[in-house]
Amino acid sequence: MAVGLTEAEKILPVAGVKLAAVTAGIKKSRQPDMVVIAFENTASCAATFTRNAFCAAPVTLAKENLSKTGDKGIRALLINSGNANAGTGSKGMDNARQSCQWLADELQCSPEQILPFSTGVIGEQLPMDAMLSGIKQISQNLSADNWLAAARGIMTTDTLYKAVSKTISIDDRVITISGIAKGSGMICPNMATMLAFITTDASVEHEFLQQCLSAAVEKSFNSITVDGDTSTNDACVLIASGEAGNTVLDNNSAQAAVFVDALHDVCQYLAQAIIRDGEGATKFVTVTVAQAAAEAEARQVAYTIAHSPLVKTALFASDPNWGRILAAVGRAGVQQLDISGVNLFLDDVCIVRNGGVDADYTEDRGQRVMDRSEITITVELGRGDESATVWTSDLSHEYVRINAEYRS
């Protein structure tokens, strides 16, 4: 059961964007498993991808196609779930190219104008008969109102779809940003087993669009972890159709900050939704490290806590075993850490002050916090003014079951 997450009832259409979700037959469950996000005109595209060295064929091909088409060339995103097309060698690349060609034929564009994305089991070739069957269904199913169907079509172990819309005003025009994401396990920065597709009808200069996305991803999708595993297929894509007709946004635009803030909100919502729906999650945990000498140092400590199996199992048990958190801080690799400057909080309950147990702390106060489904762990290092926040989940019996049975 996802922690504090409900499915959106409606996602706002974005001018110039149409979507389709079909059942191609890739998943054994016969659930929707192919999604296309198409653009009426060529659209400006920004993207970030996994840094895993064993990146999947669609990741490699999407990067190639982006480099060929430049800032105004993308016509569609082709997404399949149920098969990652990763670890599949040259045949996997050939299959990805063929899939893009088939969709390009349907949309009457160049295959380089298609960006492919896959998610699912690693090491199996794409079922090409199913891919062709799904692609043949696309053209008659494209609609501006298919956002929720698309959100369902990209799911794997997700229990709920993740989708959000936001509107802002720029140049007295209503600008819409709508996005969907999938992800539940194998979640760790740079990036995680996640796909996110965000579109806007704003007109945005290409370099600025990439800057906006990269900054937003760093504070959202690169600030989450379920299990410390980075996948082979991850991507976050931002497409600007330009149909809103606003003055083109760039670094010098007076209203650029309005767009930046809205995009950050959308990315953070989707990233947190992935953690709230983490495999087997019963807790949504915010880890904030403050008073660090550098942001990188703060992130290092935060992730050491968030990745600790002992911390995560204590969270699942609702056990205020704060010694596990303190031990994680101590082994995070902070040079010359003075423990007499360290404070530790669970929500507003101070457990450790100046390196030792706070005089007012009691087990009952800690227990009341740990019994909650949403918890904030705050560490003050007493070394400077920098801080970082990451979001994580607990580690439950259900996480083990889901991943033990994933391929069955």
Q: How far apart are CA 366 and CA 358, in angstroms?
A: 12
> Which pair of tokens denotes residue 122?
């690693």
User: E-assigned strands of 122-275?
Assistant: 162-170, 173-182, 195-200, 224-225, 235-240
- The one catalytic residue among 193, 200, 225, 392: 193
Compute the half-sphere exposure of residue 85: CA atoms within 13 Å on the CB side of its CA. 28
Closest to 210 in 3D by CA, of 233, 237, 244 = 237
> Which pair of tokens denotes residue 103?
């969709």
Q: What is the DSSP letter of 112?
A: G
**407: buried, middle or exposed (CB in 10 Å: 19+, 13-18, 0-12)?**
exposed
Q: How far apart are CA 334 and CA 383, in angstroms?
A: 10
Whether 193 sits among the annotated catalytic residues: the reply is yes
Compute the half-sphere exposure of residue 178: CA atoms within 13 Å on the CB side of its CA. 23
- Block residue for tokens 């979507």: 19
> Which pair of tokens denotes residue 51?
């840094």
Q: How far apart are CA 290 and CA 301, in angstroms?
A: 10
Q: How far apart are CA 288 and CA 179, in angstroms?
A: 26
Which amino acid belongs to residue 27?
A: K
10 Å Cβ neighbour count for 174? Answer: 13
Q: What is the DSSP letter of 359?
A: T
Q: Which residues pair with 21 in a beta bridge?
A: 35
Q: How far apart are CA 149 and CA 23, in angstroms?
A: 11
Which residues are designated catalytic? 193
